[in-house]
């Protein structure tokens, strides 16, 4: 890949992080957090995006980020109060900024009018007089990439505000002893690849440093030995450390320099320095080594003509470990992450999966060989089993990610839907740190988006209706995530009007979804909204209510091996509860036998299993059967016939029927020979080395090392409609 492209990809990844930082910060400000750190974090996010975008010449993004940054700078400087109105505008601006970033990444464009309007609103916040006077003056000014603006010059110089320069006055530490160090490097010091800048920086960590460069020995350029050493530093160090600590800094250059260390000889200014002919030359110590070297070079060359000047010594806060050790440790811990290619993690997971299977096989072989359970071998195997389990858990944890990435998209959605519906909505999120496998995370966004839209559009009442009902005018939608018994449970809860059961029932009857005579429990009525083709919205809005609503959500959740339930209390609100497996790499399965073959049926699809009685099974047509389950006739499908293991169906009384629910809620009873048990199995793809096989979802490897196939229940149920088995049988008979 083009290296620039690779950097660009990283830039956009970082943009996403910055955008979420930005949103988090703004939301905190909305909640009344006016801490300067929060405002700085917000400013930093926008500033970094602008800086990076400038490097890639993403002009529309830079222009918008610049306007945003300018307004934020006013807030930071205290010129603009972060009132609720201001933060709201900024949240909208953050949305537009996010659009700009995505447009730049995906090659689209952001509606110029919307962007310009938002920029104008932002400018109006910062300076009401200019905004009305001209259209958008900033927009006509092209911004040079990475050019430091006057108002942010300090930050730009420091690279991304990692270091906040802090001026420390000498008078602040009067109690500490003062040491005068005279340090002159010999040529051998440089020859051994030592760097005086690093030594001086080390010294700065010990305490307050005032540094004078004595460059008087520096000869004219013609006489200068490029490998010689001519510089002497006179360092005034205010520190509580011992002499040994100070000497330790120079431990590695011992013998390669002249070092004198004298305690408190009197006032610094009065000390002329014995080698000084033109007077000492102080200069700024900065944390950045490069800066230091650049300045040293500049001064070295300019020494003969430069008058002596005194600059306040700055000790960078970040480098000053003595003053804030807890802070820097905390920051280091939070930053201790690495980016790893997902393929590598997947490979690791595959290998560990193999290890687990191998361990199980080994254990089985040892057990078969008749080794006693208390023998050393068996005990060693037990330890191995524990270790492999631990490794598997740890490896799966690598792929686990907090649901935060999904939850973070929701505040924007809520703002937009609230604006469209004219309702006042507050989103409360809990359990953002709940971790779940990456594959599951990717599948969560759509269902949650749909459920939240639904909660605002259908669940919450209009502001007037809420006031009439004696509720707070602001509706609340609560989004929570939690781990519960090995699954992740996500709840979308609103404090709206609840499900209007009589209306739901009436609509279902009107649409012919249910029998008018049927009597349904409250729960059954609530679940009607998951039926295909059901939509309670009397008018089709562009938010939700196209009639492809909750049944789609339910189906996509089921496809992930999840369940969705609803509880509703009239007048108090509804709660949608999603329960999903923590990973898509393992599956809870029912292990069954069909014609001597072992198959796995996904447990989520199975409603119940039963032993059919002869009188329950009826023939329908030439070779189809139905089974009566509590007076409902359900098609009976012989799995062995569908998979071509046998030609004629098993005698129903000799087997077990699994009542399953397929796509769209259609039910069928699948006949198998026997149930072996329930087991968690690791899903293995068939497509990786072969191709998709009809009626089979995937494969897995059982404890005995054999491959077992996982049934695609939907496909098996669907084959009945296509009449495939009989078609094949006829062909076989003819041929």
Chain residues that interact with another protein, rule: CB under 8 A = 350-351, 353-354, 357-358, 597, 642-645, 684-686, 688-691, 693-696, 699, 701, 705-709, 728
To another protein, the closest distance from the beta carbon of 660 in angstroms equals 18
Smaller CB separation from another protein, 12 or 645: 645
Smaller CB separation from another protein, 112 or 354: 354
Please answer whether residues 622 and 730 qualify as being in contact, where contact means their C-beta atoms are separated by less than 8 angstroms.
Answer: no
Give the pairing type, strands 597-602 and 707-711: parallel
Gap between the Cα atoms of 293 and 283, Å rounded: 11
Smaller CB separation from another protein, 315 or 708: 708
Smaller CB separation from another protein, 504 or 708: 708
To another protein, the closest distance from the beta carbon of 77 in angstroms equals 58
Smaller CB separation from another protein, 521 or 689: 689
To another protein, the closest distance from the beta carbon of 661 in angstroms equals 22
CB-based burial label for 588 (10 Å; 0-12, 13-18, 19+): middle
To another protein, the closest distance from the beta carbon of 650 in angstroms equals 16
To another protein, the closest distance from the beta carbon of 559 in angstroms equals 21
Instruction: Tell me which residue of 541, 524, 437, 522 sits closest to 483, measured CA to CA.
Output: 437
To another protein, the closest distance from the beta carbon of 74 in angstroms equals 57
To another protein, the closest distance from the beta carbon of 297 in angstroms equals 52
Instruction: Tell me which residue of 87, 79, 66 sits closest to 22, measured CA to CA.
Output: 87
Gap between the Cα atoms of 440 and 451, Å rounded: 17
Instruction: Tell me which residue of 555, 562, 598, 560 sits closest to 579, measured CA to CA.
Output: 562
To another protein, the closest distance from the beta carbon of 696 in angstroms equals 7
To another protein, the closest distance from the beta carbon of 735 in angstroms equals 13
Gap between the Cα atoms of 104 and 110, Å rounded: 9
Smaller CB separation from another protein, 80 or 391: 391
- Beta-strand ranges (E) seen in 475-596 are 475-484, 487-494, 563-569, 573-581, 586-594
Hey, how many other C-beta atoms are within 10 angstroms of the C-beta on 187?
A: 13
Gap between the Cα atoms of 104 and 565, Å rounded: 40
Query: For residue 474, what are the contacts with CB-CB under 8 A and spacing of at least 6?
Result: 424, 425, 426
Query: For residue 110, what are the contacts with CB-CB under 8 A and spacing of at least 6?
Result: 60, 96, 99, 100, 103
Q: What is the DSSP letter of 256?
A: S
Gap between the Cα atoms of 638 and 183, Å rounded: 91
Only one residue has tokens 């001519």, namely 230
SS3 37: helix
To another protein, the closest distance from the beta carbon of 682 in angstroms equals 8
To another protein, the closest distance from the beta carbon of 340 in angstroms equals 21
CB-based burial label for 495 (10 Å; 0-12, 13-18, 19+): buried
Gap between the Cα atoms of 530 and 450, Å rounded: 13
The DSSP result for 416-482, as a single string, is HHHHHHT--EEEEEE-TT-EEEHHHHHHHHHHHHHHHHHIIIIISPPHHHHHHTTS-SSEEEEEEEE
Smaller CB separation from another protein, 471 or 684: 684
Please answer whether residues 711 and 696 qualify as being in contact, where contact means their C-beta atoms are separated by less than 8 angstroms.
Answer: yes
To another protein, the closest distance from the beta carbon of 707 in angstroms equals 4
Hey, how many other C-beta atoms are within 10 angstroms of the C-beta on 246?
A: 20
To another protein, the closest distance from the beta carbon of 359 in angstroms equals 12
Only one residue has tokens 């069909």, namely 594
């Amino acid at each position: 890949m083009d290296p620039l492209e690779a950097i660009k990809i990283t830039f956009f990844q970082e943009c996403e992080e910055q955008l979420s930082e930005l949103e988090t910060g703004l939301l905190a400000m909305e909640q009344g957090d006016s801490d300067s750190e929060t405002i700085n974090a917000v400013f930093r996010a926008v500033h970094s995006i602008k800086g990076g975008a400038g490097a890639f010449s993403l002009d529309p993004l830079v222009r918008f980020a610049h306007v945003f940054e300018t307004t934020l700078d006013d807030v930071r400087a205290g010129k603009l109060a972060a009132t609720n109105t201001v933060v709201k505008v900024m949240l909208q601006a953050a949305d537009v900024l996010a659009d700009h970033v995505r447009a730049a990444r995906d090659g689209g464009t952001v509606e110029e009018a919307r962007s310009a309007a938002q920029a104008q609103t932002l400018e109006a916040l910062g300076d009401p007089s200019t905004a009305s006077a001209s259209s958008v003056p900033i927009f006509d000014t092209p911004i040079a990439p990475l050019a430091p603006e006057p108002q942010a010059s300090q930050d730009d110089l420091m690279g991304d505000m990692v270091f906040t320069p802090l001026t420390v006055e000498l008078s602040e530490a009067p109690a500490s002893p003062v040491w005068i160090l005279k340090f002159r490097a010999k040529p051998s010091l440089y020859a051994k690849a030592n760097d005086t800048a690093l030594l001086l920086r080390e010294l700065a960590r010990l305490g307050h440093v005032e540094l004078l460069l004595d460059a008087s020995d520096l000869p004219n350029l013609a006489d200068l030995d490029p490998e010689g050493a001519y510089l002497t530093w006179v360092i005034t160090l205010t520190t509580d450390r011992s002499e040994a600590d100070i000497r330790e800094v120079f431990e590695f250059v011992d013998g390669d320099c002249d070092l004198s260390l004298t305690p408190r000889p009197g006032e610094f200014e009065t000390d002329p320095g014995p080698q000084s002919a033109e007077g000492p030359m102080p200069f700024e110590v900065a944390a950045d080594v490069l800066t230091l070297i650049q300045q040293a070079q500049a001064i070295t060359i300019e020494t003969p003509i430069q008058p002596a000047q005194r600059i306040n010594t700055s000790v960078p806060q970040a480098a000053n470990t003595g003053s804030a050790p807890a802070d820097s440790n905390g920051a280091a811990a939070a930053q201790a992450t690495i980016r790893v290619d997902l393929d590598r993690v997947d490979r690791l997971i595959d290998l560990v999966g193999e290890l687990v299977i191998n361990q199980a096989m080994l254990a089985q072989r040892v057990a078969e060989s008749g080794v006693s359970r208390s023998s050393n071998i068996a005990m060693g195997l037990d330890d191995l089993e524990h270790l492999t389990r631990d490794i598997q858990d740890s490896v799966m944890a690598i792929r686990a990610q907090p649901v935060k990435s999904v939850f973070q998209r929701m505040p924007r959605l809520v703002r937009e839907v609230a604006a469209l519906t004219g309702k006042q909505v507050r989103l409360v999120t809990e359990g953002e740190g709940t971790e779940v496998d990456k594959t599951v995370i990717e599948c969560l966004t759509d269902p949650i988006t749909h459920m939240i839209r639904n909660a605002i559009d259908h669940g919450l009442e209009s502001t007037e209706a809420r006031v009439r009902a004696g509720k707070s005018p602001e509706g609340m939608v609560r989004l929570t995530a939690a781990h519960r018994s090995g699954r992740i449970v996500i709840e979308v809860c609103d404090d709206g009007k609840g499900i209007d059961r009589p209306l739901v029932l009436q609509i279902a009857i009107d649409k012919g979804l249910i029998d008018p005579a049927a009597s349904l429990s409250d729960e059954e009525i609530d679940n009607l909204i998951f039926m295909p083709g059901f939509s309670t919205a009397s008018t089709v809005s562009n938010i939700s209510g196209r009639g492809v609503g909750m049944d789609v959500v339910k189906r996509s959740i089921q496809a992930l091996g999840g369940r969705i339930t609803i509880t509703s209390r009239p007048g108090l609100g509804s709660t949608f509860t999603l329960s999903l497996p923590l990973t898509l790499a393992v599956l809870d399965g029912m292990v069954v036998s069909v014609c001597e073959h072992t198959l796995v049926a996904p447990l989520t699809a199975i409603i119940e299993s039963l032993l059919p009685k002869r009188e329950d099974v009826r023939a329908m047509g030439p070779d189809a059967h139905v089974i009566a389950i509590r007076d409902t006739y359900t098609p009976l499908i012989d799995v062995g016939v569908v998979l071509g293991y046998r030609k004629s169906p098993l005698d129903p009384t000799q087997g077990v029927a699994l009542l399953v629910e397929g796509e769209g809620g259609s039910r069928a009873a699948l006949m198998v020979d026997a149930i072996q048990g329930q087991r968690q199995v690791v899903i293995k793809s068939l497509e990786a080395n072969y191709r998709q096989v009809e009626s089979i979802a995937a494969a897995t490897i059982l404890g005995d090392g054999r491959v077992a196939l996982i049934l695609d229940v939907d496909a098996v149920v669907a084959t009945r409609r296509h009449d495939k088995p009989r078609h094949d049988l006829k062909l076989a008979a003819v041929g």
